[in-house]
Amino acid sequence: MLRKVVRDARLRARVLERVEEFRLNNRASEKVWFRELVLCILTANSSFIGAFTALQSLGDLILYGSAEEISKVLKETGYRFPNLKAKYIVRSRSHYGKLKEIGRIADRDQIEAREMLLEVQGLGMKEASHFLRNMGYLDLAIIDRHILRFFSDYLEDRKISSRKRYLELESVLRGIASALDLPVGVLDLYIWYLKTGKIAK
């Protein structure tokens, strides 16, 4: 099924268009980079749609609002863990102004850049990989429960219990992506399409 959708010329054109948007993000301002960082903080343990809706509602509060103000808006949007995520967003401001520097490191070594992003409270391996992919770096896997469920027939252990396990699964996904002639960071766009009929991530 996955091979069939990858071979669909019209769908591939839409995916490539989305990838171009990621590459345009790469040339955007630090504010855009920070906005994407906050989006990835919000996606942890939440749906992408819920996180995106919350981000839209927050607007510039991500830059200037107090934890209390941010938490209030998150609660109003029905977002999960509003207090915790509000604290993470406020704390993440200490990285504002440094994100494009991490991008320059990613230009030569995306794994090293991901390691640096793990210093941001609220980001794990998946979220750090998601952030870098959205900024135009396509060589890291975004492994969430949907990816694991999709590939459940091929994986004996479908849990990510450690960093080591994440890297093992990333290696498996690299092999699948390579067989499909795709960057591993693009693979989940096709899987998302199979699940929802949309290319939304």
Q: Which residues are catalytic?
A: 126, 144
Instruction: Decide if 122 contacts 92 (C-beta within 8 A).
Output: yes
Helices H / strands E in the chain, number of each: 13, 0
Angle between the N-to-C axes of helices 125-134 and 30-43, in degrees from 0 to 180, rounded to the nearest 10:
140
H-run or E-run covering 31: helix 30-43
Tell me the C-alpha distance between 100 and 28, whole Å.
Answer: 9
Buried b (16+ CB within 10 A) or exposed e, 78-88: ebebbebbbbb
